[in-house]
Amino acid sequence: MAPRILIVDDDPHIRDVICFALEKAGLAAITAQDGGEAMRRFESDKPDLVVLDIGMPEMDGLEVCRRIRRQGETPILFLSARSDEIDRIVGLELGGDDYVTKPFSPRELVARVTAILKRAKAAVAEAPAPEGVLRRGELSLDTPRFEASFANAVVALTALEFAIIRMLATRPGIVFSRDQIMDVAYPDNVHVSDRTIDSHVRNIRAKFAAVGCASVIDTVHGVGFRLGAKV
């Protein structure tokens, strides 16, 4: 069965363009014209990924993302206007996996959707590591189950966030550059900015801080990031 993609945008022309591009790539498209319909379609159709416009009237894309995240970790690709930089950053911090700016190339959007689906599939299907669970101090990463926890408190991470923290935890003390992190997070050579990586790092920090870990990732200024020394 083809992966189901829920497209949420109040502009019917944009919905049509995205539908055509996704269906041409062999994906199944579902549409919603506003936030309320998006949540109804999300709950009834159980999509594999959501393409979500930020700037919608009444219930905007950020609120839709919050509600989806209360129910699970379905991947979300945001659509945003170039002037909405703050909204894009907030979207990533709320748990979005990536974003595309308007006007966009349908080809690029399909490439990003495909890359996110591959990451999500790999995270679920990854074979159990010989050591089972990776532990660093009170941090625990269960790769076979795709679960993260700190001091026995579960931390809900997206597939991309889990990949980043696992990369750092595999080699504690080593500083990884943003380019190295991009290679792991975006293996299909999809270009993203340094700010996107920074947003994901902030999101990971916020989630771990909520369970009492104030320094899961350290910044080495001018170089990159490493696993927190006090984990």
Question: Tokens 């089972």 label which residue?
Answer: 132
Buried b (16+ CB within 10 A) or exposed e, 103-136: ebebeebbbbbbbbbebbeebeeeeeeeeeebeb
Report the chain (231 residues): mean pLDDT per 10 consecutive residues: 93 96 96 95 94 90 90 88 68 81 91 87 53 82 88 90 91 87 71 76 94 92 89 81
**pLDDT reported for residue 193:** 64
**pLDDT reported for residue 88:** 66
Distance, in Å, from the CA atom of 219 to the CA atom of 221, rounded to the nearest integer, reads 6
Distance, in Å, from the CA atom of 31 to the CA atom of 15, rounded to the nearest integer, reads 7
| DSSP state, residue 176 | B
**pLDDT reported for residue 7:** 97
Q: Do residues 47 and 38 touch, judged by C-beta distance below 8 A?
A: no
Q: Do the bridges between strand 139-142 and strand 133-136 make them parallel or antiparallel, or are there none, so unpaired?
A: antiparallel
